[in-house]
Amino acid sequence: MTQYIVRGGKPLAGSVTISGAKNAAVAIIPAALLIDGKCRVENIPDISDVHDLIDILITMGATVTKVNSSTWDFDCSHVRQTRAPFDKARRIRASYYLIGALLGRFGRAEVAMPGGCDFGSRPIDQHIKGFEALGGTIETIGGEVIATSKQRLVGNGVYLDMESVGATMNIMIAAVLAEGTTVIENAAKEPHVVDLANFLNSMGARVSGAGTDVIKVKGVEKLHGGFYSIIPDQIEAGTYLMAGAATGGSVTVTNVIPKHLDCITAKLKEMGCTITEFDDAVKIDAPGHLRRTNVKTMPYPGFPTDMQPQIAVCMSLAKGTSIITEGVYDNRFRYVAELRRMGAIGQVDGKVCVIEGTDTLVGAPVKACDLRAGAAMVIAGLAAQGTTIVEDVHYIERGYENIVGKLRGLGADISRIEVPEPSSIVAAVG
């Protein structure tokens, strides 16, 4: 069992380099299945979700070679398998992109229902609606999605019931090799949607409109190999900015696209922080005391749901009462119970959380309930007096590259330790 030990109460200071965007990488890697040739992808984050997907591709017959810590070569031209290894695929959310890629290339996909963080029900009905509109037949048997099509997929119009990031990207992936034009309406506009479109276009696809709510995909016969560099991770950058704010520090995030951070820095400014933008960096200087604010999470360019737990920590330390309304998921407040162990005052009612600011948080043993909630526990630990032990950090490592090393670079007192599982302690004692 891995834990983080955080000794808090010290303002963070310095600069941190942001890695490539997780939610772009986890779509681009499965999309490599569409390419007839070799592609080199740079700025891939070194996180467990990426390693799981690379393992899946290798198991299916792809040649994947590490060039350096963030650059990989993919050659899927000789892949013939259409079934993703069940246990690996069901562990991660992004395995759903394998369905679009395999169906688009081979007309058949067998992929476990996706796993991922538990925020209540996370259906994939919009993905399925899109695949069916393109001529696919979708069944779910034994926890596995079986998608088939007798012939090449055929482009069609798909109107999404909600701006789903996953459905937008998955339908885009499936449509790239289809015959004719696919039009996705009410599409998600997140930076990683645009990044996937740019990746596909650089390999010969014809995707237009990504970043608006109507995306057009003109099908092509095949994709060729090429070279691509993934955009920086908006949420990783936002997380370090929040850590700067919560600890009263001064932090610069480098290798970022400042425009992608506007929705996050706008709120930090409201809380009294000074934000300075550079070409590819953003600096935060936190005030002595943060001010209260309200947040409603929304699809891009709204405030991201993936920053909700991190800003809750800042609100816990702000003067006054703040309100968070979760606008994307049914149940993303499980971490509030963990924050309360550290002295935060938060009340949850359905999709709303009311947070009463307090002067100090106090270190405690807490759990990472999911990826972003785990990052929030680390931030809370850094801002708290005393020692915080964060358990279940495998969630954090799904999406944050070297978080311990990066925080240490900002002066944090944090270490990663291995402790025996409780059952093995009992066995040793017994």
Name the site residues for ligand EPU (rule: CB under 6 A).
Answer: 22-23, 26, 93-94, 117, 122-127, 162, 164-167, 188, 305-306, 328-329, 371-372, 399
Nearer to ligand EPU, 34 or 235 (CB): 235
Burial class (CB in 10 A: 0-12, 13-18, 19+), 30: buried
Minimum distance, C-beta of residue 309 to ligand EPU, in the bound complex (Å): 10
Minimum distance, C-beta of residue 16 to ligand EPU, in the bound complex (Å): 19
Distance between CA atoms of 417 and 430, rounded to whole angstroms?
A: 24
Non-local CB neighbours of 238 within 8 Å, separated by 6+ positions: 261, 264, 304, 307, 310
The tokens 């772009």 sit on which residue?
A: 24
Residue 290 contacts residue 241 (beta carbons within 8 Å): no
Nearer to ligand EPU, 127 or 216 (CB): 127
Residue nearest to ligand EPU (CB): 166
Minimum distance, C-beta of residue 94 to ligand EPU, in the bound complex (Å): 4
Exposure on the CB side of residue 291, measured as CA atoms within 13 A: 9
- Buried/exposed code over 255-287 (b: 16+ C-beta within 10 A; e: otherwise): bbbbebbebbbebbeebbbebeeeeebbbbebe
Residue 121 contacts residue 331 (beta carbons within 8 Å): no
Nearer to ligand EPU, 93 or 292 (CB): 93
Minimum distance, C-beta of residue 371 to ligand EPU, in the bound complex (Å): 4
Minimum distance, C-beta of residue 399 to ligand EPU, in the bound complex (Å): 6
Measure CA of the first residue to CA of the last residue in the chain; give whole Å: 20
Distance between CA atoms of 107 and 135, rounded to whole angstroms?
A: 10
Nearer to ligand EPU, 126 or 265 (CB): 126
Nearer to ligand EPU, 220 or 298 (CB): 298
Residue 243 contacts residue 251 (beta carbons within 8 Å): yes
The 10 Å Cβ neighbour count of residue 142 is 8
Distance between CA atoms of 237 and 292, rounded to whole angstroms?
A: 22
Minimum distance, C-beta of residue 189 to ligand EPU, in the bound complex (Å): 11
Nearer to ligand EPU, 166 or 248 (CB): 166
Nearer to ligand EPU, 30 or 204 (CB): 30
User: What's the count of helices (H) and strands (E) in the chain, helices before strands?
Assistant: 15, 25
Minimum distance, C-beta of residue 77 to ligand EPU, in the bound complex (Å): 26
Minimum distance, C-beta of residue 127 to ligand EPU, in the bound complex (Å): 5
Q: For residue 304, is the peptide bond before it cis, meaning its omega torsion is within 30 degrees of 0? A: no
Q: What is the DSSP letter of 161?
A: S
Burial class (CB in 10 A: 0-12, 13-18, 19+), 123: exposed
Q: What positions carry a catalytic annotation?
A: 117
Burial class (CB in 10 A: 0-12, 13-18, 19+), 428: exposed
Q: Which of 109, 164, 163 is nearest to 131 (CA)?
A: 109
Whole-number Cα distances in Å, 227 to 35, 219, 316: 12, 21, 44
Nearer to ligand EPU, 158 or 290 (CB): 158
Distance between CA atoms of 287 and 388, rounded to whole angstroms?
A: 24
Nearer to ligand EPU, 16 or 124 (CB): 124
State residue 84 phi and psi, 5-degree precision. -80, 145
Minimum distance, C-beta of residue 184 to ligand EPU, in the bound complex (Å): 13
